[in-house]
C-alpha cells in the first residue's frame, strides 16, 4: 500500500479557544497549497482508493480539495485517530485497517503526523521529520518498516511550477 501523509494546509492563526479553533477554515494561501499539491499528485497519476481525514474543518477542506484535484469522487472518511489528540498507536491501527487499498491519503495535524511518519519508517523512534503545512509524503507500507519515497512541501512545488511556467527561451520578435 502507498500511504500519502498530508499535513493540512495553511489556516491562519490558531485560536485561543479550542471550540473555535476546531472550526478554523483554510485561508487563501491554504487553498492555493491544496491546488499545488493536488496538481502535483495528479501529474504523478496518483488515484486514491480512500481518503481519510481528521474531523477538524481545515483538514477536511484540505482532503476534499486535494481529492478533487486528483479525481477522487468518493466520500472523505473521518477518523479521530488523525485529530490533534490522536495517538501513534491509533494511527498505526488505522493504517493496518487500510492495508487492502493500493493508494490512501490521510490528512492530519502536527505534532502527531510527523511522529507517526517517523514511527512508520524507523520504528526505533529516533527519526525527526519536519512536515510544513501542506506537505505531503509518500510511504510504501507493503512491509514495515515502511519506505519513504519522497516528501514535498508547497514551497518546493511553488518554485517548480513557477520555473516551469516561464519560457526557457527569450522572446524575440522579428516583424
pLDDT tens digits for 62-113?
999 999 999 999 999 999 999 998 998 999 999 999 999 999 999 999 988 9
Q: Is 3.40.190.10 the CATH classification of the domain at 2-12+21-162?
A: no
C-alpha cell at 80: 479521530
Cα 143 off chain centre by: 21
Q: Which helix (H) or strand (E) holds 175?
A: none
Q: Which of 141, 48, 26, 156 is nearest to 95 (CA)?
A: 141
Q: Nearest 5°: CA angle at 146, between 59 and 154?
A: 40
- Summarised one tens digit per residue, pLDDT across range 20-34 is 778 889 999 999 999
- The mean per-residue pLDDT over the stretch 137-142 comes to 94
Q: Which of 104, 9, 12 is nearest to 60 (CA)?
A: 9
- Domain limits of the chain? 2-12+21-162
Res. 138: pLDDT tops 60: yes
DSSP string, 109-151: -TTHHHHHHHHHH-TTS-------TT-EEEEE-SSSS-EEEEE
Res. 163: pLDDT tops 80: no
What average pLDDT is seen over the chain?
89
Amino acid at each position: 500500500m502507498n500511504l500519502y501523509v498530508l499535513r493540512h494546509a495553511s489556516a491562519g492563526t490558531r485560536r485561543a479557544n479550542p471550540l473555535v479553533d476546531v472550526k478554523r477554515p483554510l485561508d487563501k494561501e491554504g487553498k492555493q497549497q491544496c491546488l499545488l499539491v493536488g496538481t502535483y499528485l495528479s501529474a504523478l497519476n496518483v488515484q486514491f482508493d480512500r481518503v481519510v481525514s481528521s474531523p477538524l474543518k481545515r483538514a477536511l477542506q484540505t482532503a476534499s480539495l486535494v481529492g478533487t484535484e486528483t479525481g477522487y469522487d468518493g466520500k472523505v472518511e473521518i477518523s479521530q485517530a488523525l485529530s490533534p489528540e490522536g495517538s501513534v498507536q491509533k494511527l498505526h491501527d488505522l493504517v493496518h485497517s487500510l492495508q487492502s487499498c493500493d493508494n490512501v491519503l490521510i490528512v492530519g495535524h502536527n505534532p502527531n503526523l510527523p511522529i507517526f511518519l517517523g514511527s512508520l519508517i524507523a520504528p526505533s523512534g529516533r527519526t525527526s521529520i519536519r512536515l510544513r503545512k501542506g506537505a505531503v509524503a509518500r510511504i510504501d507500507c507493503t512491509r514495515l518498516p515502511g519506505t519513504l519515497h519522497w516528501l514535498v512541501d508547497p514551497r518546493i512545488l511553488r518554485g517548480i511550477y513557477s520555473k516551469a511556467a516561464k519560457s526557457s527561451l527569450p522572446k524575440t520578435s522579428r516583424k
